[in-house]
């Protein structure tokens, strides 16, 4: 579905993406891992068009995204859903209004119809009955669930998760992992997950890609990556301080 070919990007003379190649298959969960500051967020911003590469190509179903005009790309963006690290809920809106926001803004649905869809999505993430609550009344795990409901409300083909378990305790993190798996199987959607959470990665990933120094140094299934002899990959996945990855 998505191909990134020889993507290069620099900021103020510092190269962040250094000829990156990555293939993301349709209908799978691809997890992108790597240390902080390696460019994972920059990579995601390229996929959704917030950044343009200095060189290279980004293809979605064979269509070149980097050369699209703004109006054309705005239509492509409707194929994406996004779950931000913070959840990014609107504090002044109820849970239902948060979930239905994109529908209200971008479709001709009536307020009643928007609410009905929002309630269905909330049920899908296990939050029936929360629709009239405010974000301030929610736990961290509930906020992540609301954010997921909002990300899938337009039935996108691709959903991007930015650190979905950050700030959550291990039990809540595992519940979010289960929810990611359940919704992906129900919707048969392409999920792209950015995370440092190795337990989450092993549980949900169809494919793992390791980003290091601006390139994908290895990509493969969980079994393949676990069995890799690459010292950088092994050190990261095992969470060891000793090895070629320096401690800043």
CA distance 245 to 248: 9
pLDDT at 112: 93
Answer yes or no: is 247 within a domain: no
Q: Count Cβ neighbours within 10 Å for each residue of 164-194 and write b for 16 or more, e otherwise.
A: bbeebeeebbebbbebbeebbeebebbbbbb
CA distance 64 to 154: 23
SS3 209: strand
CB 22 within 8 A of CB 217: no
pLDDT at 187: 85
- Give residues with Cβ within 8 angstroms of 86, minimum separation 6: none
Please give the backbone phi and psi of residue 5, each rounded to the nearest 5 degrees, phi first: -125, 115
Answer yes or no: is 85 within a domain: no
In the predicted model, residues of the chain with pLDDT beneath 50 are none
Task: Tell me the residue range of the domain where 102 lies.
Answer: 91-155
Nearest to 213 by CA among 54, 44, 78, 20: 20
pLDDT at 117: 93
Domain count, the chain: 1
CA distance 131 to 122: 8
Answer yes or no: is 5 within a domain: no
pLDDT at 53: 93
Beta bridge partners of 82: 160
Angle, vertex CA 53, rays to CA 52 and CA 55, nearest 5: 140
Answer yes or no: is 196 within a domain: no
pLDDT at 247: 64
Answer yes or no: is 63 within a domain: no
Answer yes or no: is 103 within a domain: yes
- Give residues with Cβ within 8 angstroms of 241, minimum separation 6: 247
- Per residue in 33-43, pLDDT (tens digit) is 988 888 888 99
Answer yes or no: is 202 within a domain: no
- Per residue in 133-170, pLDDT (tens digit) is 999 999 888 888 898 899 888 889 999 998 888 888 89
pTM: 0.89
pLDDT at 78: 82
Answer yes or no: is 142 within a domain: yes
């Amino acid at each position: 579905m998505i191909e990134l070919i020889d993507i290069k990007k620099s900021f103020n003379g510092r190269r962040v993406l250094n000829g990156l190649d990555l293939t993301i298959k349709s209908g799978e969960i691809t997890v992108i891992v790597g240390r902080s500051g390696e460019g994972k967020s920059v990579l995601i911003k390229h996929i959704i068009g917030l950044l343009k590469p200095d060189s290279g190509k980004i293809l979605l179903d064979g269509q070149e995204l980097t050369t699209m005009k703004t109006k054309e790309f705005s239509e492509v963006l409707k194929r994406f859903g996004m779950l931000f690290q913070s959840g990014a809920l609107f504090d002044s809106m109820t849970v239902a209004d948060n979930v239905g926001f994109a529908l209200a803004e971008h479709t001709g649905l009536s307020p009643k119809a928007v609410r009905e869809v929002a309630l269905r999505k909330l049920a899908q993430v296990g939050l029936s009955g929360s629709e009239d609550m405010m974000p301030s009344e929610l736990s961290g795990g509930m906020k992540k669930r609301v954010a997921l409901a909002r990300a899938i409300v337009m039935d996108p083909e691709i959903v991007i998760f930015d650190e979905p378990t950050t700030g959550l305790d291990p039990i809540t993190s595992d519940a979010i992992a289960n929810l990611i798996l359940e919704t992906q199987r129900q919707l048969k959607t392409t999920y792209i997950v950015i995370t440092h959470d190795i337990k989450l990665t092993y549980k949900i990933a169809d494919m793992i890609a390791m980003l290091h120094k601006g390139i994908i140094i290895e990509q493969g299934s969980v079994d393949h990556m676990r069995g890799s002899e690459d010292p950088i990959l092994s050190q990261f996945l095992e969470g060891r301080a000793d090895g070629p990855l320096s401690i800043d």
